[in-house]
Amino acid sequence: MSYGYSSRLIAMNKRASKTKLGVALGRKCIALDIPVTEVADRLGVSRMTVYNWFAGTHEPQRLYASAINTLLSSL
């Protein structure tokens, strides 16, 4: 099933620095077609927050780093 990541978000994610934690999470989720809603629910943040991380326009706060790394490891 495709969760329909927009071409705009995919392009922004590809242009963003792969060293950013949110961008790395985005690349993995886009590749595996994991819905933003699922990521947001698992991390306890809004969907818009996750979109901003994926696009590289915002960085996750430090308090989410451990949870994001755990999620990345489990994917």
Taking only the tens of pLDDT, the chain with its 75 residues reads: 456 789 999 999 999 999 999 999 999 999 999 999 999 999 999 999 999 999 999 999 999 999 999 999 998
- Which residues, other chains included, contact 18 with Cβ-Cβ below 8 Å and sequence gap of 6+? 24, 27
Residue 61 lies in a domain: yes
Q: What is the pTM of this model?
A: 0.89
Q: Residue 51: give the domain boundaries.
A: 7-70
Q: What's residue 3's pLDDT?
A: 61
Is 2 part of a structural domain of the chain?
Answer: no
- A 10 A CB-CB count for 8 gives 9
What's the confidence (pLDDT) of residue 4?
74
How many structural domains is the chain composed of? 1
